[in-house]
Amino acid sequence: MYVGVDCGTQSTKVVIMSADSLSILGTSAVAHSLVQADNGRREQQPAQWVSAFEQALAQALDAAGVSGKQIKGMGVSGQQHGMVALDAEGQPVYPAKLWCDTESAAENAELLEQLGGPEGALDKLGVVLQTGYTASKIAWLRRHHRAAYDRIRTILLPHDYLNFYLTGERVTEAGDASGTGYFDTRSRQWSERVFTLVAPELDSAKVLPKLIESHQPAGYVLPDIADRLGLPRDVVVSSGGGDNMMAAIGTGAISAGITTVSLGTSGTLFGYSDQPVITRNGLAANFCSSSGGWLPLVCTMNVTSATTQIRTMLGMSLSEFNQAAATAEPGAGDITCLPFFNGERVPALPNATASFDGMSSFNASPSNVARAVMEGATFGLRYGLDALLPAEQEAPQHIRLVGGGAKSALWRQMVSDVMNCELVCPQSPEAAALGAALQAQWCRGRLAGATVSLEALCGEAVRLDESTRSVPHAEHSARYRELYQRYLKVLRQRYPDVP
């Protein structure tokens, strides 16, 4: 058996996968709490992740009806960009600042200016610094909590931290490191020059984790932890990676032609490339994959987080919200929503706020408001898709849709119509956790001298749910082309600097 772990914003999920059938035998999830404030603060205590993992592992093993002694390997997926700064004893000097934390917007702007603006950042890193990345969080800690900053001896990402807890090793891999803001995504190495700008007092050779390849192990589960969790003492822990990189493996997007779209708390679009992809506007991040190669990616900040915000405000259950949105026509009665409740990354508007344009006493109904926020989140993803695709390509070849929003038939059809592309959901809803388990089996196999490829494992393990297949509706796709242009007009009226 192999364990896949996905430490996300809202919970830590664990899946148990059979090595023979490559099927998921048991799953579990344990929720996290979030410290947040209206100044953009979004933080968590890393100890929560450990506790949630241990609980979820026990529950998943119980659900699978298997013993922990059958586990051969484990892979960890984690929310990207989070800052986990540790002292000499391996204890956090400050709570982890998360990907969705925008408190460091001022520090990010200063760092970007020091790098020579977006063009300078692209030249030095292959990506444009974003407020969500790790770099500005370190600069923020240096400015606002200097005593904590001065205690730093190691800087890890969330998935690195869980690997450290499991193995005692301070390592990372190129996929997750791509989102730090001090990693050259073309040469796949730390940028000492940029890190010195971020943290001039810290020695990158000492505080940054060792880089390993995606197929290499982070290490083995420590004996005392293995004993406490009921695991063998030879459980290998693979390199793991960021949640998007693991979701690429878990959806089979590790070769050209497949675009994965996630309707999660945030929204992501990504597809595999065998070479770096540097876009002129810098909106598509030239991240590395966790399978070798690259994973050009776009992330928007407001998807199910936005619909949940409005659903809660309306006092609706999830089914009531979906029913209400379904009763409204495309266009939501001429209401256009910019759902920027958490600022926005694509386009780069960290201090943006949400708004509803065109609302009047004649169209301000719960159904129109529900549909407007769902359409606004989808148009945001369409904006990201336009940034990701080559100018001559109007639609992706094939979309694999994942995330909580993908459970809605209405939203699946809306994405298909707005993107003008056929899509289907994988059978496993836990794409990142499945990807982590598959990477663990790939890693263990390579250690044993096996010749099986990750592509072969994905080809067998990633099964599609044909009941979710959605094909663009010609009339609705034409209507959504018009509505998307209206969305862009409203967006640029409110934020004139948006390209």
Catalytic residues: 243
Q: In sequence order, which ranges of 126-222 are alpha helices (DSSP H)?
A: 134-144, 146-150, 158-167, 174-177, 192-198, 204-207
Q: Within 13 Å and on the Cβ side, how many CA atoms surround 325?
A: 26
Angle in degrees, 0-180, between the axes of helices 304-314 and 318-327, rounded to the nearest 10: 90
Query: Cα(498)–Cα(491) distance, rounded to whole angstroms?
Result: 8
Q: How does DSSP classify residue 83? A: B
Residue 217's DSSP bridge partners are 238
Query: Cα(131)–Cα(349) distance, rounded to whole angstroms?
Result: 9
C-alpha triplet 369, 375, 379: angle, nearest 5°: 145
Query: Cα(182)–Cα(193) distance, rounded to whole angstroms?
Result: 8
Residue 30's DSSP bridge partners are 12
Please choose, from the candidates 107, 119, 126, the residue with its C-alpha nearest in 3D space to the C-alpha of residue 174.
126
Q: Backbone dihedral region of 215: left (phi > 0), alpha (psi from -120 to 50 degrees) or beta?
A: alpha
| φ, ψ of residue 152 in degrees (nearest 5) | -65, 130
Q: Which two tokens stand for residue 121?
A: 């950042």
User: How far apart, in Å, are the Cα atoms of 15 and each of 24, 72, 290, 432, 438?
Assistant: 7, 14, 19, 10, 11
